[in-house]
């Protein structure tokens, strides 16, 4: 973005790697376009600077060298055209050369169908690097992948830099964790402890409240000596859950364990829901949400927080009978004066459902990438850009 501001992008061929991997329905219609909208400022900046602009992204996980119609970025090109207010031609087979004039923008078809993209073959990366004078990575959502368009091309392009979205995302998340207004509360929910164990461990060294939800909370309830009936849990991770609780307690911090829950006998939208104290879960009960008392207590903690990090709904919020916990948490975040940061596909769906987009301080476009930053990992696609910057590129 500095290059554009300094006028150095005029007449230059700029290759932008964006993350336009958006969900689609069976008919190929885009159901959620946040990532496309978030890519617009970078593209506009390059166009306004007078560059010849190429944009690419992956879509899904296609088989390399075997392009299928459903792999096409055509719906994305259409949506991008609407957002930019100009036609965005879609270019197939672009690796060996692209025709684009200064002041124009083209979309390069799904980069993941190119053989060598996933495993980052140097041959492909060098070819792609020859297409441009300036490589810009603005794909935060894919920054945890070291692929041809996220890593390899950054090694060989004459100039390689981060776009505004990539920089803003990493800044927002790392600042929220490194210099938080306290208390710092994190909500880590989802079905499995195993997929989020390193995040829980890393946050347990930093946050003041670690609010767990979903299957993760069930495992923590087991660790706290409660019965959870036939609820989803990972009993083999009890020791890890206990260690997280102990690490938090040693710092005077807390993992609030639900004191009441909403249970059903089957996992279904119309299953009769019953609120129970957490100590009275029956052997054939399935915990599908936190109870109202727990939700109220967590909501008041969130309202008193200085910073909130949110990943994951705390119950089966797709079913009306089990959405109260997630809705209460969402509303508490919306009403809290705390700076809040949220990410992950299900979390974004909850934010949209409860209409709190404007009250969340920062909504990340990352799924896996957001989680890896929370884990404290350095994202390879960002790391290579830093290396290039240090080398004076």
For ligand 3PG, the binding residues (CB under 6 A) are 19, 21, 61, 141-142, 145, 367-368
Contacts of 170 (CB under 8 A, 6+ apart): 140, 143, 373, 379, 382
In the complex with ligand 3PG, which residue's Cβ is closer, 288 or 373? 373
Asked if 35 is an active-site residue, the reply is yes
Q: Is 29 annotated as a binding residue?
A: no
Nearer to ligand 3PG, 258 or 313 (CB): 313
Q: How far is the CB of 204 from ligand 3PG (least distance, A)?
A: 25
Any binding-site annotation on 343?
Answer: no
Give the nearer residue to ligand 3PG in terms of CB position, either 22 or 217.
22
Which residues, other chains included, contact 319 with Cβ-Cβ below 8 Å and sequence gap of 6+? Answer: 268, 269, 271, 288
List, in order, residues 6 or more apart from 236 with CB less than 8 Å away.
none
Q: How far is the CB of 216 from ligand 3PG (least distance, A)?
A: 20
Quote the least distance from Cβ 111 to ligand 3PG, whole Å.
11
Instruction: Tell me whether residue 315 or residue 380 sits nearer to ligand 3PG (CB atom).
Output: 380
Cβ 89 to ligand 3PG, closest distance in Å?
23
Question: Is 145 marked as binding a ligand?
Answer: yes
Least CB distance to ligand 3PG at residue 371 (A): 9
59 is in an annotated binding site: yes
**Strand residues in the chain grouped as ranges (E):** 13-17, 52-56, 90-91, 105-108, 134-137, 159-162, 184-189, 209-213, 260-264, 274-277, 286-290, 307-311, 339-342, 362-363
Cβ contacts of 378 within 8 Å, gap of 6 or more: none
- Cβ proximity to ligand 3PG: between 145 and 196 the closer is 145
Nearest to 215 by CA among 243, 195, 240: 195
Tokens at residue 108, please?
A: 């390069």
User: Could you say which of 8, 44, 175, 192 is catalytic?
Assistant: 192
What is the pairing mode between strands 362-363 and 339-342? parallel
- Residue 235 CB, nearest distance to ligand 3PG (Å)? 28
Q: Is 97 one of the annotated active-site residues of the chain?
A: no
Nearer to ligand 3PG, 142 or 231 (CB): 142
Strand 209-213, strand 184-189: pairing: parallel
- Residues 294, 324: contact at Cβ < 8 Å? no
Q: Is 377 a catalytic residue?
A: no
SS3 label, residue 134: strand
Q: E strands along 138-272, which residues?
A: 159-162, 184-189, 209-213, 260-264
344 has binding-site annotation = yes
Identified catalytic residue from 50, 306, 361, 368: 368
Q: Which two tokens mark 51? A: 């560059």
Q: Is 107 annotated as a binding residue?
A: no
Catalytic-role residue among 103, 306, 345, 361? 345
35 is in an annotated binding site: yes
Q: Sheet containing 286-290: which strands, arranged edge to edge?
A: 274-277, 260-264, 286-290
225 is catalytic: no
Token pair of 112, please? 């993941």
Residues annotated within the binding site for (2R)-3-phosphoglycerate are 35, 112, 145
Active site residues: 35, 192, 345, 368
Please report, in range form, the residues annotated as the binding site: 19-21, 35, 58-61, 112, 145, 196, 318, 344-347
Binding-site residues for substrate: 19-21, 35, 58-61, 112, 145
From the annotation, which residues make up the binding site for ATP? 196, 318, 344-347
């Amino acid at each position: 973005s500095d290059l554009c501001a300094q006028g150095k992008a005029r007449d230059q061929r700029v290759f932008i790697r964006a993350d336009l991997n958006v969900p689609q329905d069976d008919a190929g219609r885009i159901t959620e376009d946040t990532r496309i909208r978030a890519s617009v400022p970078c593209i506009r900046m390059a166009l306004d600077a007078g560059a010849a602009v190429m944009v690419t992204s992956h879509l899904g996980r296609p088989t390399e060298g075997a392009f299928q119609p459903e792999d096409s970025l055509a719906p994305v090109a259409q949506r991008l055209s609407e957002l930019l207010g100009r036609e965005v031609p879609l270019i197939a087979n672009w690796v060996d050369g692209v025709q684009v004039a200064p002041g124009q923008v083209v979309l390069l078809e799904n980069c993941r169908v190119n053989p060598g993209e996933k495993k980052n073959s140097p041959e492909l990366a060098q070819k792609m690097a020859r297409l441009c004078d300036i490589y810009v990575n603005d794909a935060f959502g894919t920054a945890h992948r070291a692929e041809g368009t996220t890593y390899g091309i950054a090694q060989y392009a004459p100039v390689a830099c981060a776009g505004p979205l990539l920089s803003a995302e990493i800044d927002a998340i790392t600042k929220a964790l490194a210099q938080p207004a306290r208390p710092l509360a994190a909500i880590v929910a989802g079905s499995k402890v195993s997929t989020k164990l390193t995040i829980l461990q890393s946050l347990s060294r930093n946050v003041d409240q670690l609010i767990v939800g979903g299957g993760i909370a069930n495992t923590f309830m087991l660790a706290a000596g409660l019965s959870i009936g036939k609820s989803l849990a990972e009993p083999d991770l009890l020791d890890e859950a206990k260690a997280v609780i102990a690490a938090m307690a040693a710092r005077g911090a807390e993992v609030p364990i639900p004191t009441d829950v909403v249970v059903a006998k089957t996992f279904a939208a119309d299953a009769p829901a019953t609120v129970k104290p957490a100590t009275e879960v029956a052997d054939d009960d399935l915990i599908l949400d936190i109870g109202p008392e727990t939700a109220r207590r967590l909501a008041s903690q969130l309202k008193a927080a200085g910073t909130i990090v949110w990943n994951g709904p705390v119950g089966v919020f797709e079913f009306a009978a089990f959405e109260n916990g997630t809705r209460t948490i969402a509303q508490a975040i919306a009403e809290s004066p705390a700076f809040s940061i949220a990410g992950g596909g299900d979390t974004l769906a909850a934010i949209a459902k409860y209409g709190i987009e404007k009250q969340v301080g920062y909504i990340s476009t990352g799924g896996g990438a957001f989680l890896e930053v929370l884990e404290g990992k350095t994202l390879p696609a960002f790391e290579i850009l830093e290396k290039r910057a240090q080398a004076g590129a």
